[in-house]
Amino acid sequence: MPPDSTPPLGIIMLDTRFERPPGDVGHPASWPFPVLFETVRGATARRVVGGQDAALGDAFVQAGERLRARGAIGIVTSCGFLAARQRALAARMTLPLATSSLMQLPLIDRCLPGGRRAGVVTYDADALNPAHFVEVGADPATPVVGLPADGALRGLIERGAPYDAAALARDVLEAAGRLVARGDIGAILMECTNLPPFSKAVAERYDLPVFDIITLGRWFHSGLLQTRYR
């Protein structure tokens, strides 16, 4: 790595294969700095979302060490449900690790006006349980709305359907709308790392701040690599 280049952020990817447009965690153009990728074989989306990934701890740590050896200065992951493994994995990594966009929730909630709170749009509302929130210091009663089980994102990731940006946008906007309809939502957080391509549309539709894995990664990397002021 040239001495004047920006050190990269490492990204641990699940074992998935589908189209990833700019904005997705797995597309290099989503990031304003270099990124490196390492895949954990056997870590399917359904296995991680369903919490059946405990036996993959060693594989995640090994992926993190490969990223370190390649020059990464910190690590994020490609699935928000890995929030459940935040402390266990971080304790074993050589580099700092931020597993999930959910880690932003405590800070977001403290930034909002009185009577307002953050709400989460998630890949699977049935699988996202209070333990995920507790593990990252967030309120386990955080409002959550899930994308439809028969919708475009599950079709893409679990059933091999083609990427349908229009259908994905409709599903995400509808889910965000159900959150906003509560009347107390002051910000929206995207749990799923495939949703940032739609964050701007949600922000514009509902006139709310939107946070996701990209906002987490930008913050994280900025602390790992300080600016030299002149």
pTM of the model: 0.95
Q: Which two tokens stand for residue 176?
A: 């965000």
pLDDT digits (tens, 9 = 90+) for 33-53: 999 999 999 999 999 999 999
pLDDT band of 226, cuts 50, 70, 90: confident
pLDDT digits (tens, 9 = 90+) for 60-99: 999 999 999 999 999 999 999 999 999 999 999 999 999 9
For residue 202, give the 3-state DSSP assignment. helix
- Whether the CB-CB separation of 210 and 187 falls below 8 Å is answered with yes
Domains of the chain from N-terminus onward = 9-100+215-224 (3.40.50.1860), 101-212 (3.40.50.1860)
| pLDDT recorded at residue 5 | 86
Q: Which two tokens stand for residue 49?
A: 């979302």
| pLDDT recorded at residue 2 | 43
Q: Report how far residue 100's alpha carbon sits from residue 77's, in angstroms, rounded to the nearest whole number.
A: 7
Q: Report how far residue 1's alpha carbon sits from residue 12's, in angstroms, rounded to the nearest whole number.
A: 20
pLDDT digits (tens, 9 = 90+) for 198-215: 999 999 999 999 999 999
Task: Return mean pLDDT, the chain.
Answer: 96
| Mean pLDDT, rounded, for 132-147 | 97
